Amino acid sequence: MKNPLLYSFGTPLQSAPFSEIKPEHFIPAIEKDIKASLLAIDKITDQTAQPTFDNTINTLQNIGQLLERNSAILFNLNSAETSEEIQKITQQASPILTKFQNDVRLNQILFERIKTIYENREKENLTTEQLTLLEKEFKGFVRNGALLSEDEKDILREIDTEKAQLSLSFGENVLADTNDFSLHVTDEKQLDGLPDQVKEMAAEIAKSKNKTGWVFTLDYPSYVPFMTYLEDRTLRREMSLAFGKRGFQKNDHNNSEIILKIIELRKKRAELLGYESHANFVLEERMAGSEENVNNFLEDLFNKALPAARKEWEQLESFAKENLNLNQLEKWDTAFVSEKLKQVQLDLDEQLLKPYFPLEKVKLGLFEIVGKLYGLSFKKNQDIEGYHEEVDVYEVFNSQGNFHALLYTDFFPREGKRNGAWMTSYRSQKKGQRPHISIVCNFSKPTASLPSLLTFQEVTTLFHEFGHALHGILADTTYGALSGTSVFWDFVELPSQIMENWCYEEEALKLFAKHYETDDVIPMKYIEKIKKVAHFQQGLQTLRQLGFGFLDLSYHNKKATEIKNIKEHEKKILDRVQFLDDYPENSTSTAFSHIFQGGYSAGYYSYKWAEVLDADAFELFLEKGIFDIETSKSFKENILSKGGTEHPMTLYKRFRGKAPDPKALLKRAGLVH
């Protein structure tokens, strides 16, 4: 059988021919790609010519293109459409790829050439982008062990291989525990309070499992409304505890030891490279700059949010006692009671909003918004295949009508798909090559009688991920290594978080918030209430995010390896940001995929950091008009298209005309006036 991964794809726009790609194709292709890449690197190092940017750095950028493409397909499928076979292949591929990366980064002759170019960079007439790339390559080698002795390099190789495999296992364990649990209900009386759409979805899940009644899972579209609306407290408790047990049960999927091992390896690696901690290693290449700066940032926000959070919590408690006969709030009550309080305080039942947010109309409205802002248009292409029947593929065109990118959209939960929402790419942008971008979400599925109707939170999630997608779609750099989301990690959330602002603006809402049956635009009274939702319980929401930030840093600071018990440690860290009792059978850390499987280790603070940037940046849109052409053009030219070609603060100031003001976030959240 011909292996399609061995060649350039002869498909429309060189899109991945998913139906032709079999799991057994990956390893042979990756091994062949690595062999070809190493031979190409030998050609660079065997040169007798003096090292120059062109004969070394430039040449290096064009090596391993098939390898990059094939490994992107594999790891993306492992997140969005996995199977036991794909998981095994990914576990097999991970050490092979880690070894290759180390073979490149620890190649002394190659490093000496790069070092020579770096030390003599003033002598070459380099562009700003070329200088950034040169610095990135030089630092990349140094930060991956180029200055170590041969023995130390061997230790680094072992650490990296083990670390990569542990991260994969962590994610597999969370997915396994998520899939292993379901709650089967046969008495409809127990479902009082649940919206009809949620019940209908649960009935369809039951039917698919050959059961009568209703089945609920730990996937977000099932879990979140269950915890928010179900009157039956006993069932809420069961569901909540199951969610909190993921990766923390006495079974083969327990992540506790994996976490201890990962943090030990990360610290050992950082120390080997001359850093005090993994956090210091990571933060050297962030806008924040240091662990101390991040701590100060988080502490400052904590001190400003705590009084508001405490007041909101007391309000929640007294409301629960007076109206719901709940004398002691538990973890499984908070979403339920918050929703009831919101209905009273804001006179808003979020279920009344859902008919105005059918996924299809929201998506088309979103296309219209980015069309107004950035001149993009979207056309579904039925001839390009996705990796699952639910995946749609769009061609994206720029304002001149030229092809600009491919966009894959994948919106509903499945067994082979991890929870959450993310943006990724199957092909990066560089000179002469347009990107293939994908957004993956887990929204409520359509049912037999209803289309997919989104909660307002799901609407903001879609806008958020689309902001990331725009960073990829509008990328316009010479080098793939600096394109799109290849930016400082605490800058990467700016394009995504700024997009959420359009969800709260009347002028934008009128484009997409239309009733699924009547096509009526959402009433003004609801728009006013949506704006108030933005301030609802912001103190508590901020505290929750800060808790994740504090927990993340604590696993990666210089004392990280003193942690012996995951549960005891996280309790100590989270107690100050929580008003609830602890539950011994639950753990936050063991399903904290962002930092143990994704790329957010010592970087979770960046969500709040980017909120400061986005609040400050959006003030300019509010001042000039949310569809102001000059402002959106400047944001596109200085932020979205530039990727990592310059320092993010330079790019930000060029757009905004000044450094970001943290007060903008506190003001928007209603925490200061």
Catalytic (active-site) positions: 465
Cβ atoms within 10 Å of 123's Cβ, excluding its own: 9
Q: Is 428 helix (H, G, I), strand (E, B) or coil?
A: coil
Amino acid identity, position 330: E
Q: What is the dihedral of CA 667, 670, 672, 673, to 10 degrees?
A: 80
| Angle value at C-alpha 524, between 518 and 529, nearest 5 degrees | 115
Q: Which amino acid is at 561?
A: T
N-to-C CA span, the chain: 67
Euclidean distance between CA atoms 299 and 310, whole angstroms: 16
Q: Are 177 and 418 in contact, with CB atoms under 8 Å apart?
A: no
Q: Which residue has the tokens 């887990």?
A: 442
Q: Identify the helix (H) or strand (E) that includes residue 184.
A: strand 182-185
Tokens of 361: 């109309």
Compute the C-alpha angle 307/301/505, nearest 5°: 90
Radius of gyration of the chain (CA): 25
Residue 42: strand, helix, or coil? helix
What DSSP element (H or E) covers 359? helix 359-374
> How does 440-458 read in b/e, with b if 16+ C-beta sit within 10 Å?
bbbbbbbbeebbbbbbbeb
Among residues 104, 103, 99, 97, the alpha carbon closest in space to that of 26 is found at 97
Write out the H or E segment, with its range, that includes residue 17. Answer: none
User: 494 Cβ partners below 8 Å, 6+ apart?
Assistant: 610, 613, 614, 617, 639, 652
Is the Cβ–Cβ distance between 201 and 221 less than 8 Å?
yes
CA 254 to chain centre: 23
